[in-house]
Structure 1
Amino acid sequence: MNHVRNKIQNSKTLLGPFPTFEVQETPDSPYELFLNWFQVAYDHDIHEPHAMTLSTVDKDGNPDSRVLILKDVDEEGWYFSTSTNSEKGKQLMTTSNVSLNFYWSLIGRQIRIRGNAIKMDKETNVKDFLNRGKVARAISLIGKQSSILVKQSDFEEALSDQLSNLENNPLEVSDSWALYIVRANEVEFWQADEKRQHLRLKYFLKGDHWIKKLLWA
C-alpha cells in the first residue's frame, strides 16, 4: 500500500488562483457575507455548493460528523433536516451544540459555523418532509435510519412497501422528521492563499450584534 501513501503525501493542495477577499469591505452580518461567498461558489460551478459537514456530540462526549445539505439560510440561521431517530437526531437531543463546515476547494474558501441546533415547529417539519422526493420520503417512513441492516434485500423490500404506501397515502408524514435551524454564535470565513498567507475573518455574536476580528493564519 506504499504507493497509496505516496499519492497521499504527494497530493497537491491550494493551487489557485483564488478569488480576492477584501476583509476591510465586509458586511456587518455573517449571513450577508455567506450569501456573497455562496454566490461566488455557485458562479464557479462548485459541485454541490450546499453540501456541508455537520458535527455533533453524543451522550458520552464523543464527536461525530457527516456531510449533508443546507436546506435554507436566512438572517436567523442555517437550516438542515434529519430524522430524530437517526444518530445525529439522538445526539441533538443530548446537546444542541453543533458546528457546520463548508469547503469549496476550487476557490480555496472555507466557512466554519458554531452554534445551537433548534428543532422547528411541527407545521414547518411537515412542509419540509412533503417537499422531499418520493424515494427520500419512503426511506424516511421506513424509520430505521442508522440501524443494523442484516441484508440489502430487507431494505429493498421495505422501500418497495413504503413506495406502494405513498401511492395510496401521498400526504403521509414521518413523525420523526425534523427541520433544524442552527443559530450561530461564531462564523469564520477562511480564504486560502497559494503562498499560505491565508486570510481569516471571524464574526462573534455579542448580545444582539456581531463583531469582526481577523485571526492569525
Structure 2
Amino acid sequence: MKDQIQSLASLSGPFPPFDLDAACDGPCDLFSVWLREAIEAGVKEPHAMVLSTVDDSGAPDARVLILKNLDHRGWHFATTDAGPKGQQIAANPYVALTFYWQPLGRQVRIRGIALRAPEAERGRDFRRRSAAARAVALVGRQSEILASRRELDLAVETQARRIVETPDIAAPNWSLFMVMPHQVEFWQGNPDRLHQRLRYRKAKSGWLREPLWP
C-alpha cells in the first residue's frame, strides 16, 4: 500500500494565480470570490466542508458537512443538538472549518466560534430540507448504535407520515449554527511547492492580512 500511495500524483496543476497584494480587505469577500470560481470551474460539491470540534476529553473530531449560507455573521451549517456535533459545540463552541477545492489547488481554513441562529431561522432551514432528510432528523437518534436496518426503516416511515400530516413540523433539537471567525487562512497550492498563504486575523481595528511562508 505504501508504494501505491506514494506513486499517486499530487498538486499537478495547472492552478489559477493568486495575487496576495490584490486580495480583498476581509475574508468573507475573498471566500465568496473563491467559492464562485470553484462553482464556475465545475468543482463537485464546492460547498462541502470539514467541521472540526473537540469532545469532552479534549480529543479532536471531524466530519464533512454542507455550507448552508455565508453572511456578515459567518459561515452557516445545520445539525441536531442531540448528536455528537451539537453536544460537542454546546460544551466547547470553538470550531474549525476546512474547504478543499482540489481542481484549483485551493484550501480555506476557518477558526472561530459557533453561535446558534435565532429559532425562526432554524425552523426555516429545517423546512427547506427534503422530506427524506426531515424524516431522518425527526427520528433524532444520530450516532446511536443501530440494531437492524428494519428498525431504521420503521422509524423513518413513522416520521415521514408525520411530515405528511403536519408539513410545518420541525425537529425540536434542530440547530442552525453560524461560525463567527477570528482567523481565516487562504492557501493556493503550487506544483513547485512554493505555496501561497494569506491569513486574516481579527483585531480591534479590523482584519489584519498576513502573508505566510509556505
- Structure 2: distance between partners of 1:213 and 1:166: 50
- Structure 2: distance between partners of 1:11 and 1:187: 29
Q: Which residue of 2 aligns with 1:132?
A: 129
Question: TM-score scaled to structure 2, two decimals?
Answer: 0.98
Which amino acid letter does the alignment assign opposite residue 194 of structure 1? P
Aligned with residue 61 of structure 2, among 42, 59, 64:
64
- Structure 1: distance between partners of 2:95 and 2:210: 22
Between 104-113 and 155-164, report the one with greater CA deviation.
Answer: 155-164
Q: Report the CA distance between 1:9 and its aligned residue.
A: 1.6
Any runs of at least 4 consecutive aligned residues in structure 1 with deviations exceeding 2 A, and if so which? Answer: none
* 1:6 equivalent in alignment to 2:3: yes
Question: TM-score scaled to structure 1, two decimals?
Answer: 0.97
The Cα offsets for residues 40-78 of structure 1, whole Å up to 9 and x where unpaired, read as: 111110000000000001111010000000000012210
- Structure 2: distance between partners of 1:163 and 1:112: 37
Listed as ranges, the matches of 1:11-160 within 5 Å are 11-160=8-157
- Structure 2: distance between partners of 1:199 and 1:216: 8
- Structure 2: distance between partners of 1:85 and 1:48: 26
Fraction of identical pairs, as percent: 40
The Cα offsets for residues 113-132 of structure 1, whole Å up to 9 and x where unpaired, read as: 00000011111111111111
* 1:210 equivalent in alignment to 2:212: no
- Structure 2: distance between partners of 1:49 and 1:94: 29
Which amino acid letter does the alignment assign opposite residue 117 of structure 1? A
Which amino acid letter does the alignment assign opposite residue 31 of structure 1? C
Q: Report the CA distance between 1:5 and its aligned residue.
A: 3.1
The Cα offsets for residues 67-123 of structure 1, whole Å up to 9 and x where unpaired, read as: 000000012210000000010100001100000000011100000000000011111
* 1:167 equivalent in alignment to 2:168: no
- Residue segments in structure 2 that go unaligned for 5+ positions in a row: none
What RMSD over aligned residues (CA atoms) do the two structures have, in Å? 0.8
- Structure 2: distance between partners of 1:64 and 1:136: 23
The count of corresponding residues between Structure 1 and Structure 2 is 214
**Residue aligned with 2:98, SS:** strand
- Residue segments in structure 1 that go unaligned for 5+ positions in a row: none
**Residue aligned with 1:85, SS:** coil
Q: Report the CA distance between 1:208 and its aligned residue.
A: 5.1
- Structure 2: distance between partners of 1:67 and 1:174: 21
Aligned with residue 182 of structure 1, among 158, 179, 182:
179
